[in-house]
Amino acid sequence: MIDSRWIVLPIGDVPTQTLLEFDVYDRATLQLTEKVSIRKGAGIGVWALFNGHLYWTQPRSGSLGSLLDNDLAARTTRTAEPSGVRNLVGSSAGVGWTDGQHRMHVLAGADPDRVPGQPGSHPGLVTDGRS
């Protein structure tokens, strides 16, 4: 994931399907600034980068998972939603998560699967940030 300030690389263990950490690089200097630790044994979920925050899900076996939020500048992580998270959706407009009933909850910015002036939701929306 790349935005105007950060480059974030998820580091995982493919054979065990676990996420180990996120390596965060400052885009201006290309220097590693932080290694965001992941709870040991966390399954590989979905992640998004928006407005200086790294968001990711931690699925639980047989149930919906949790959602974490790391403020990249402050280098702090908080639990944004402790449970009930099905999916994470990110776009250049914002970040949101869906619950067990597939309802969207906007976390930052605007609803990520909406296109201004277009009716309905567009969960497959892809953008380069301008188009």
How confident is the prediction along the chain (131 residues), in pLDDT tens digits per residue?
888 899 999 998 888 777 889 999 999 999 999 999 887 777 767 899 999 999 999 887 667 889 999 999 999 999 999 999 998 988 878 899 999 898 999 999 888 877 766 666 655 665 555 55
Assigned domain for 117 exists: no
Give the range of the structural domain holding residue 52, as residue numbers without chain letter.
6-109
Burial of 82 (0-12, 13-18, 19+ CB in 10 A): exposed
Cβ–Cβ < 8 Å for 23, 11? yes
Identify the CATH number of the domain in which residue 74 sits. Answer: 2.40.128
Task: Answer whether 0.95 is exceeded by the pTM.
Answer: no
Identity at 96, one-letter amino acid code: G
Assigned domain for 122 exists: no
Q: For residue 75, what are the CA distances in angstroms to 24, 35, 49?
A: 10, 9, 14
Measure the CA–CA gap between 112 and 46, rounded to whole angstroms: 14
Which secondary structure element, helix H or strand E, spans residue 81, and what is its range?
A: strand 76-85
The number of distinct structural domains making up the chain is 1
Assigned domain for 51 exists: yes
Assigned domain for 54 exists: yes
User: What is the C-alpha R_g of the chain?
Assistant: 15
Assigned domain for 44 exists: yes
Q: What angle do CA 8, 67, 102 make, to 5 degrees?
A: 115
Assigned domain for 126 exists: no
